[in-house]
Structure 1
């Protein structure tokens, strides 16, 4: 090292005009050690490893139906994703190579598991309702047996409180797209708005059959209607879209921003001006579980205007975006 320093002090220009000083500087740059990862970056990589391990475990299960192992895996996954991480940490996590691909394969597993979970509990509650048909039993008591009942209540409360700021009066006619076999949001609407009627739309006929029978058994058949329809295709079921004051779009209707925007554009053309559309989305680490609806200036081309976007910091997983159909 001393010899090198001496040569630097007594350098002479080389034939090409460069000096030993330049050579030593280049050498120093070439052996500069890599930057030490920050604590946040290290924590983000640790979280990535945990989520990847859960994904691997879920992907190798013979079934995604409720059970001890899958329940434990999904609970761990949700708890990891709903932590209120800071902006920098979230950016570090989402920038990790492989995260985007991991999310693309993990979300369909979560979606399928959610469908299995709702179907399992819808059938269980339906059996309990039949058994206790001649007894004094509140429907809400049966619904509370669903493990995530409180989450649905909290999400519905968030949606309704947000909606009330933009509605001149309580809605009387609401549609819910993607209602599934256990239409808890629709049932929450009935409790929140005594005069409302809810039209449940799903492309899965078996899910609709279970949910319709369940609602009738619970005594809510008069204010609930059901139709099997794929809203990504031209309507053939005679749904009166102009009658709805509010339309809800479930989180799993549309797998990405592009497909969600296509659905929203279609809805804007069917609904009357002034109607509201509530689309569920996700933000931050919650996008590991659900697809996000990314808003941009292109929203003006859909025939909708954005009224508000709400991101929860509680155990509620979904964000919500409220749109209004513009005048045509």
Structure 2
């Protein structure tokens, strides 16, 4: 594992290439194989790896968000994205978790994705699998611009809003579900600020989904204490044991 970490930390740049792809693929495989037990790793070093993973993920998504609309067949190119099925499977599981938490998504449902990124495949699959209408929110103007271009190329309906998760202007009481992405809010305090903002835009019987990480997977994504968020009640908690990385937490507004 230490060799994998050193390889990732020593990469001179993080834009997609054979070297970058191989380094991160090896790291992810090692983390998944390690299981649920946390890795014994210096916290500063863990943070460095998380930061590199976040930047590399952003670079990969930007690359594909430009590549797909420029292809002769954007639909086929979308299917060529290496983690396409991973996004689909995680989204399918989240739909099931929402159902267990008492909420069924369908055509009239409204969903907001905070931290949707330049390649918002969770929103794509939620729309494809349930018909729900998606509002994508990201702090990056470039990410929203790329998302809009992708949506146009795929004839995919949706709203795209630039804004910080803790202060973005969302209609009060509009949404059935609000997602907080794994990289939205590095610390518990930052995540709490996003949740506080999201609650005002959530319907009284709505649900909030927060993605995080657990065990060895916290080397790749920041983890957080799911019971420590205020103003919400934890209803479902899911930690994958296969190639899916993110843990999922489903909440309802606290009474």
Name the residue aligned to 2:138: 202
> Which structure 2 residues correspond to residues 166-315 of structure 1 after superposition, within 5 A?
166-171=101-106, 172-194=109-131, 196-220=132-156, 223-232=157-166, 234-235=167-168, 238-296=169-227, 298-299=228-229, 302-315=230-243
Given the superposition, is the C-alpha separation of residues 321 and 274 from structure 1 closer, same or farther in structure 2, using an over 3 Å criterion?
A: same
Deviation at 1:273, TM superposition (A): 2.1
Deviation at 1:270, TM superposition (A): 4.0
Matched, 1:69 2:19: yes
Larger strand share, 1 or 2: 2
Name the residue aligned to 1:160: 95
Larger Rg: 1
> Which structure 2 residues correspond to residues 95-114 of structure 1 after superposition, within 5 A?
98-114=41-57
Name the residue aligned to 2:58: 115
Provide the C-alpha distance between the structure 1 equivalents of 2:64 and 2:171, rounded to a whole number of angstroms: 31
Kindly indicate whether the alpha-carbon contact (under 8 Å) linking 2:170 and 2:201 is maintained by their aligned counterparts in 1.
no
Q: Which consecutive residues of structure 1, in runs of 5 or more, have no partner in the other structure?
A: 1-49
Kindly indicate whether the alpha-carbon contact (under 8 Å) linking 2:32 and 2:216 is maintained by their aligned counterparts in 1.
yes
Kindly indicate whether the alpha-carbon contact (under 8 Å) linking 1:84 and 1:313 is maintained by their aligned counterparts in 2.
no
Kindly indicate whether the alpha-carbon contact (under 8 Å) linking 2:134 and 2:159 is maintained by their aligned counterparts in 1.
yes
Per chain length, whose mean CA-contact separation is higher, i.e. which structure has more relative contact order (CA < 8 Å, sep 6+)? Answer: 2
Provide the C-alpha distance between the structure 1 equivalents of 2:103 and 2:88, rounded to a whole number of angstroms: 23
SS at match of 1:242: coil
Aligned length: 253
RMSD: 1.8
TM-score of the aligned structures, taking structure 2 as reference length: 0.92
SS at match of 2:101: coil
Name the residue aligned to 1:318: 246
Given the superposition, is the C-alpha separation of residues 114 and 272 from structure 1 closer, same or farther in structure 2, using an over 3 Å criterion?
A: same
Given the superposition, is the C-alpha separation of residues 205 and 198 from structure 1 closer, same or farther in structure 2, using an over 3 Å criterion?
A: same
Provide the C-alpha distance between the structure 2 equivalents of 1:218 and 1:272, rounded to a whole number of angstroms: 30
Larger helix share, 1 or 2: 1
